[in-house]
Structures are given as structure tokens and as C-alpha cells.
Structure 1
Amino acid sequence: MRGDGAASRWRRVAVGVAALLVGAAAVPGRAVAEPSAGPAPATPVCEVRDPRLTEISGLAATDGGFVVVNDGADDESRRRIFFLRSDCAVLRAVPYPTRPRDTEDLAVGADGSIWVADVGDNDRSRLTVAVWKLAPGADRPVLYRMAYPDGPHDAEAFLLTGDGRPLIVTKYSAGLYAPATALRPGATVPLARVGQVRLPATTTSNPFGGLGRTAVTGAATAPDGRRVVLRTYADAFEFEVTAGDVVAALTGGTPRITPLPDEPQGESIAYHRDGRSVLTVSETADQPPGTAPRILRYPLGGPAPATPAEPTPAPAEPTPAATATASGQRDVVAHPAAIVAAGALGVGAVVIVGLVAVRRSRRR
């Protein structure tokens, strides 16, 4: 996500008001999970000083360091798969053979292949989304295109199932989509909706208020494949996986919560190679000049698994018609959950949006 300073200030004001409304009335269908103690502090691992890496949207840990990608950047030099050493220095950068649209997350396959999820769609206008697969030692990723069965979605989180099948998690409603047939280069395969995640509510502090605790911005799989984690701008939710069935874990499991408080714009998460901690990194495009992205390490554990509320229909994803867009600025999207909260407070006609979805507006 990126935007100029004015857009950032407007975003924070709008989100703050929305957070006050939503915080006073619980969103139906989400149990509130409160940590029994304060969150464990993060340990800084290293700073990413390369000027091309200020919009990191995907992170993975390897035996020798890290792999990262930016989201869809205007600068051609930023459109790379970056391999970092353990001190965050760039070791090599692999370009794409054609221009990606909006790369948002990545994963490492069992064979060491790097999968990059080109699934961002702020305007929900893409006819297809894609994944790029970079085989070990290769210098050219292969493109695979996919199409949603129910219209476009914005997504920033991506996983691989136990059998190596891609799994997309949409940003606003946590819908799960997987290819209905085998991926084929040069072809577009249909996606199938395979489930929906219902994350418990938290009260973790973050720059985006209520929105930050609901928008799914990243995902990762543990090295042993027995756990997966989803993150929002505020928290990490870890699920136990049985027999490689990631969909069953996400749709039927009870997550263990690790708070990630007050990260500037946390969109990335990965498991450390030890499997006992997670790594995160924030975008810094909106931060003061000279601010470098820092990879942080959080011990896993947190409060006991939260018990989800009885299933209820999740709020619908914001529609493009509800989006107020200013050229070069972020979008502000109305979310039905805030309207529910405002009604519970007895507030009349709510003009300002509820849960505000902060989204990049690309310079075409």
C-alpha cells in the first residue's frame, strides 16, 4: 500500500473515527480475544537499506537469508524477486520476463521454488490474477494466470497447501480460493471458492484502528507444514494443520494469536526457519525520509486459542462503487461493519465511512 503524505493524514483521521465507532459495538460473528498478558516484544533482525525496497509486501525466510518482493511499483528497478543475506543486504535480484501487476505475497515450495502471488487488485478490475514460479537456481520465473468465479477480489495473502496447490486469501472477507484445475503456462485456469476464514476480533493497537484488525495482509506456512499463519495489520493468527489440509485448518480451526502492535504498515509475515517464531516487515513508503524497513522477530505463543463465535455471514467486500478515489491518493472504502456499529451507538446518518480500507491507487 502506498500514498502521498496528504492521503496518509486523511487516511489516519478517517480510520481513527471509524475505529471509535466500531470499537463501541462488536461486529457480529467475531469473538473478542483479549491477550492474558502484554504482547511479547519484537526483536529487530536487520534493516533493509537498499533504496529499491521500501514497499515490501512479501517475505520468506531461507537457510541463507530472506526473499522479498515489493508490491506493484512504478519504478522498473523495484520489480524484482530480491534475495537477501541474513544481514538484509541484497545478494541478487531476479527480474520478471513481463511486467507484473501487483505482487503482494510469496511462499517457498517443498522443492525450494519461490512462488510470488501477483494478486493485488485495488480497483477490483482485473480479469485475471497470477502467480509466478521461480525454480531453484533459475533466473526467469514462469507465469500462471487464474480467474475468480465470482468477480474480482483484492488479495494480499497467499499460501501453498500440503499438496503444493496455491491458495489465495482475499483481503476484506478472508475468502479462500484455489485453482480448480492444474496450472498451465500460457493458459488461464479457473479458481474455485473453497472456504472462508473467520478471525476472532482483537483490540491490538495499530495505525489503522478497526480496519487494521480485520484486513488480511499476509500469510505463511511453517517449515514443517504443520501450521499456517495469517496476519492483519495488528495480529498474527496461527492455525494447526492436520495431514496437509490447510483449508480445513483455516475454516475449522481455532487460531492462536500473537499481537503485532503498532507496526507502521505490516503487510508481510514469514516463519523463522526454527518454526518457533515469525518474522515481519513493514512498508516504509509513507514513513519519514531515511526510514528503513526492519525485519522483526516475534516469539510464537500468545494467548490461548480463541473460540470463534457461531458462524454468521461475513460483511461483504467493499465494492468499487463505494470507493472514493483521488488521483495519486489512497482509496477510502465504506465497510458495512462500521454502519452496524454506528447503529448500535444510536448515531444517525453516518457520512464518514466505517471501516476504512486503505488501498493504493496506481499511477497509470
Structure 2
Amino acid sequence: MTARILAASAPGEIRIAVTDATGLRDYAVWRPGWPDGVGDLHRGRAGARLTAMGGTFVDLADGASGFLPDSAAPGPLAEGDPVLVRIVRAAQDGKGARLSATGPTLPQGQSLAGPPALLTRGPTPLEALAAAWPDAPIVIDDAAIAARLPAPLRGRVQRDRRAFDAETEAARAALADASVALPGGLRATITPTPALVAIDMDGGTASSDRRAKQTAQFAANRDALPALLHQVRLRNLSGAIVIDVAGLAIRKRPALRETIETALAQDPLRPRFLGFSALGLAEIMRPRIHPPLHALLSDAAGRMIWMLDSWSRQVSGQPGPAPGLRVGTDLARALDHDPGAIADTTRLSGHQPAWRLDPSLPPLSWTLDHA
């Protein structure tokens, strides 16, 4: 079975899975109403330069800003200078977008004169995966997806009633779980923190292996680590990542280097394995570019999409009027920001969701409104 790019429509979101005979190879979420900006080309204005940080803040369109390191700048910038910049890392973890001024050229008909403005958008997640898997057909379940694709990709599109089969849907849903089942009966628990992502590998059938305990533990970790590092890619975990392997003595752990480096070599972001710490933790640095999946699922947009998806599944096919929604303040703001998500919900469910703000609810909470 050759690789296929499967694009499944949901309210406010297109879920993109690359699959082949081995299962889920790649995964991304495309939210048309909430682009993360990576690849966008802006006409910016230089703001304050921070010598201690080695760069300059740049004003972008719509009141946004980003940080331009000196190493990626075209030369010294004075406050107020125009500069052409591209976003190379999305805003995330409370930090603004990272910018680069190396390489971009002005689109035809554009000028550096004028206020900050967005000049061109970067590739969507579907375009990026289509470029990474150039021979894979694109299977969609909603004509609205095809309408959003650039003309060169439309010849690769195939239509199916359901883009995700049950196995792909189960694999997608499992990506939201902090606990990951691994080969050999091992299990990993993933804990993101503001500073790093901590992963604990634990337990497993290695304890019943008839070989010597350390030999069995080494084999269990060796067999499980490629699957765990593939989960790192699927979930887009990034920045500093530390892994506590299961049960193996600290002095034995460096023998896992080749296994880790071989698995990381399959990742297009080319993460770096930094070695094992004095505590025996495997240290990995994976570039931050797009927000990780756990952040997308837990922010206001993610909670809004989950709410609309849950409501849509509940009312789809039901005769008569559907119950409305009462929402907290943050969900209300997200709904106001993304009218396209409401339109998607109406198209997919056959019912237009009515909603009203209920300030008594927690900001990211909602409930059915039967009034």
C-alpha cells in the first residue's frame, strides 16, 4: 500500500493524516480561521532593538510583532526602518513569532513603502504535507477542502465518503492521550512543561523475559524507542525533550544512542540527540516551528472546535430543531473570531448552531442550551 494523504473535514478544522501499510506516518491539523503564520511574508517596521537579546522587534500586520535576530537581519536596523520579513517560527509558549529577513523578495507590484502588511501567506499544512509526499494521492471527504487547494494539487485529489477509516480515526484520537502504548508492553507518559517535554517510559513484559534483567530491559527499550520517537513527530513535540527509559541502569543507557539517532534521522526536522545526562535522561532538541498538537488541542480555538465537533456529531441527522449552546467567555471570543467554523458545522451537521454567552460558566466551558 502506497502512502495516501487523507484530509478529513471537521468544524473549523481539517485533520490531515498520511498513512500507508504500516499505519499513521504523519499528522497535521489545518485551521483555516487560525493560521499560525509560518511562511507568511510581511512588510514590517523595525521597533526596539534589544542588545542583550541580539535582535530587533518588528511590527507586523494587525498589531502583531515578531523577533528578528541579528543573524537573520539584512543589516543594522534603526527604529522605524521598513524591512521585509518571513515568519519562520510561530508564536507559542508566550513568545512571539520568530522572523527572518534573509532571502525573501517583494512580490510583484508590492513596495516596502507603507504600513506593516501581510504580503503573501505561507503554505497550509495540507500543502506542506503534499510537498513532503509528492507521489501520494490526496483523499478528501468534503468538496470544501478541494476549493481551498491551489490548482496544482487538484489533480491529485480523490473523493471518498469518509477520508478516515476506523483505524486512522483511532490513531488520531490516541494522539490526544498523554499515555502511549509501546511495543513490548512498555508505556510512556508525556508531560509537557513550559521549559521542556518530559517523557517517562515504564513497565512492560520485559520483567517476564527469561533473559537477565538488564539484557531484557535493554532489548525492551531498544524495541520501543523508535515507536516513541515516531510519536514525538506525530504530536510535533519540540524544544527540549528528555526521556527516562524504562528500568535500565544508567551506565547501560549510552548503548541506546544508535537506536535513538537512527530513529531521529527519519524525522524531517532532524532533531539532535545531545546524549544522556548524569541522571541517565536522554536529551533531544527538536526545532520549534509550528505549535505542538497538545497546545492546539487545549487553546481556545481547540476547545471551540471540540465543542462544535461534539455538538455536530450529536445532532447530525436529527429531525427538528437542535439544542443551542451556552458558552464561556473565551469560547465566545473564539466563535466570534471564526465564523467559518459555524458555517462548517452547519454544512456537516445540517443544523446551524445557535449559541449565547453565559458568563457564569468557566471561560473554556460549554453546555447544551435547551431553552
Fold shared, TM-score > 0.5 on shorter chain: no
Larger Rg: 2
Q: Which has the higher contact order (CA 8 A, sep 6+)?
A: 1
Which structure has the highest helix share of the two?
Answer: 2
Q: Tell me the TM-score normalised to structure 2 length.
A: 0.26
